[in-house]
């Protein structure tokens, strides 16, 4: 795609990077077939190719974006399916990230939008605040019509997605191996430990069983993904720097084999720290070191021999999270691990399409997110599964809001099949593990 940026504009590293991305697009349109919003809405402006045009015009002319342009950029899920499809290797992720940061700096949103987005940035990255907010949401759910009238559909979507009860967080009794094959940090995350603390416990047991010493760091914080996708660039970089400092200390004092992530949305961001901080002379090299050893848990476990699984042929519908299959290009590892553990794996049609979670998307764009969820669930229900597995907490909540079978994390099933307890979501149902 031809561009017309001035030399002065290209002196800005972010603009120069975006110009390179825009120029690599050859208008082929392959991305339209796999873009969830284009598939649903049929509007060229809601396709990656269309958004690239909008971003190009906005950045070239250094315009204050119009409400119409912002609407179409906001509708992007950042599912990155287009990057898997694109034959030209267009790095749409970095381009739309830049566009969001530009919009955040130059566009004044309506008051209630500013309020809701600020509240999400203030609450979601902080587990204690998030827990309190969910407890309040439970009590406020009867006021959903009033919240919708005051703050629009996002407010009622937030109340609807809040769970009726929060699980207690009981620390797992770790069993570190005597001669560990490696030492890893298990990233804590922010939403996951509040909504599903059992995922961390299952991961620790499973990693110990695989021969790894597992370390949890009290000093780390949110990876920055949530605010990053809201366009709040400075906040996301501050979060990244904090974690990098913590993890580099671990690397340099005791050594680390990997930084392991159980929420694939966080993993995609961690692996991008090197790019995000490439122009920061104090952090560029450290960020690259951290990104180089960040791994999804399925990525790590696929490299080792787990104990024999005894799942007894339980039928599992596996939903590949977008951040895992498109963001990190990890496609086969989770299903291979589950199959080796004795599960019967079925993958839905249109597995490349997003479920509609996408970080805060199901809160800010509830109508489109709901359509995507229903489309996803129709393809999953056609498989007649006994349980649904995925590798990202956001997908678990989104799919679970309509599923009629348990929705669990991949590591919960692997832990159970190799000697751990039954996942809490499966409690009270007849899921007897085979003993043969």
Average pLDDT over residues 368-379: 96
> Is the confidence at residue 435, as pLDDT, over 60?
no
Class (C level, CATH) for 315-426: alpha beta
pLDDT above 70 for 432: no
Domains 182-218+233-301 and 315-426 share a fold: yes
pLDDT digits (tens, 9 = 90+) for 132-141: 888 887 777 7
Q: What is the pLDDT of residues 200-228, one digit of tens each?
A: 999 999 999 999 999 998 899 999 999 99
pLDDT at 434: 46
The pLDDT, as a whole number, for residue 144 is 74
- The mean per-residue pLDDT over the stretch 59-80 comes to 95
The pLDDT, as a whole number, for residue 176 is 78
Kindly state the average pLDDT of the residues 128-153. Answer: 79
Residue-wise pLDDT tens digits, 311-353: 889 999 999 999 999 999 999 999 999 999 999 999 999 999 9
- 182-218+233-301: CATH number: 3.40.50
Residue-level pLDDT at 433: 52
- When pLDDT is cut at 50, 70 and 90, the band that residue 166 belongs to is confident
Q: Across the chain, what does the average pLDDT equal? A: 92
Q: How confident is the model at residue 25 (pLDDT cuts 50, 70, 90)?
A: very high
Does 178 have pLDDT greater than 70? Answer: yes
pLDDT of 436 over the 70 cut: no
Q: Is the pLDDT of residue 75 over 50?
A: yes
Residue 431: predicted pLDDT: 67
Residue 34: per-residue pLDDT: 94
Q: Which CATH class is domain 7-106?
A: mainly alpha
pLDDT above 60 for 96: yes
Q: Work out the pLDDT band at 237, boundaries 50, 70, 90.
A: very high
Write the pLDDT tens digit of every residue in 383-396.
999 999 999 999 99
pLDDT for res 74: 97
Q: What is the pLDDT of residue 158?
A: 75
The pLDDT tens digits for 257-289 are 999 999 999 999 999 999 999 999 999 999 999
Sequence-separated (6 or more) residues with CB below 8 Å from residue 63: 57
Q: Where are the domains of the chain?
A: 7-106, 111-161, 182-218+233-301, 315-426
Residue 229 has a pLDDT of 94
């Amino acid at each position: 795609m031809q561009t017309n940026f001035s030399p002065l504009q290209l002196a800005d590293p972010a603009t120069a990077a975006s110009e390179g991305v825009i120029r690599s697009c050859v208008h082929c349109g392959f991305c339209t077939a796999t873009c969830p919003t284009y598939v649903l809405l049929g509007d060229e402006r809601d396709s990656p190719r269309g958004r690239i045009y909008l971003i190009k015009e906005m950045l070239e002319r250094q315009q204050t974006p119009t409400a119409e342009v912002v609407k179409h950029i906001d509708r992007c899920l950042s599912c990155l399916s287009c990057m898997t499809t694109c034959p030209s290797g267009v790095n749409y992720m970095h381009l739309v990230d830049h566009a969001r940061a530009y919009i955040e700096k130059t566009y004044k949103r309506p008051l209630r939008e500013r309020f809701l987005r600020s509240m999400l940035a203030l609450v979601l990255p902080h587990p204690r605040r998030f827990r309190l907010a969910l407890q309040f949401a439970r009590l406020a759910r009867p006021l959903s019509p009033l919240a919708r009238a005051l703050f629009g559909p996002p407010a009622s979507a937030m109340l609807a997605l809040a769970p009726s009860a929060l699980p207690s967080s009981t620390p797992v009794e770790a069993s570190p191996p005597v001669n560990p094959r490696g030492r890893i940090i298990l990233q804590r995350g922010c939403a996951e430990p509040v909504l599903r603390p059992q995922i961390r416990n299952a991961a620790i047991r499973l990693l110990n069983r695989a021969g790894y010493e597992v370390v949890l760091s009290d000093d780390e914080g949110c990876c920055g993904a949530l605010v990053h996708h809201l366009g709040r660039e400075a906040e996301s970089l501050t979060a990244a720097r904090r974690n990098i400092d913590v993890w580099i200390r671990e690397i340099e004092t005791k050594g680390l084999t990997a930084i392991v992530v159980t929420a694939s949305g966080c993993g995609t961001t961690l692996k991008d720290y090197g790019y995000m901080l490439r122009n920061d002379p104090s952090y560029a090299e450290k960020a690259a070191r951290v990104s180089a050893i960040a791994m999804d848990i399925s990525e790590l476990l696929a490299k080792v021999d787990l104990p024999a699984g005894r799942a007894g042929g339980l039928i599992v519908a596996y939903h590949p999270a977008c951040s895992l299959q498109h963001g990190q290009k990890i496609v086969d590892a989770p299903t291979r691990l589950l199959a080796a553990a004795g599960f019967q794996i079925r993958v839905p049609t249109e597995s490349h399409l997003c479920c509609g979670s996408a970080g805060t998307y199901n809160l800010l764009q509830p109508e489109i997110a709901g359509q995507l969820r229903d489309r996803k669930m129709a393809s999953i229900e056609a498989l007649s599964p006994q349980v649904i597995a995925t590798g990202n907490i956001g997908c678990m909540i989104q799919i679970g809001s309509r599923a009629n079978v348990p929705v669990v994390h991949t590591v919960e099933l692997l832990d159970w099949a190799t000697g751990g307890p039954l996942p809490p979501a499966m409690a009270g149902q007849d899921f007897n593990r085979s003993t043969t």
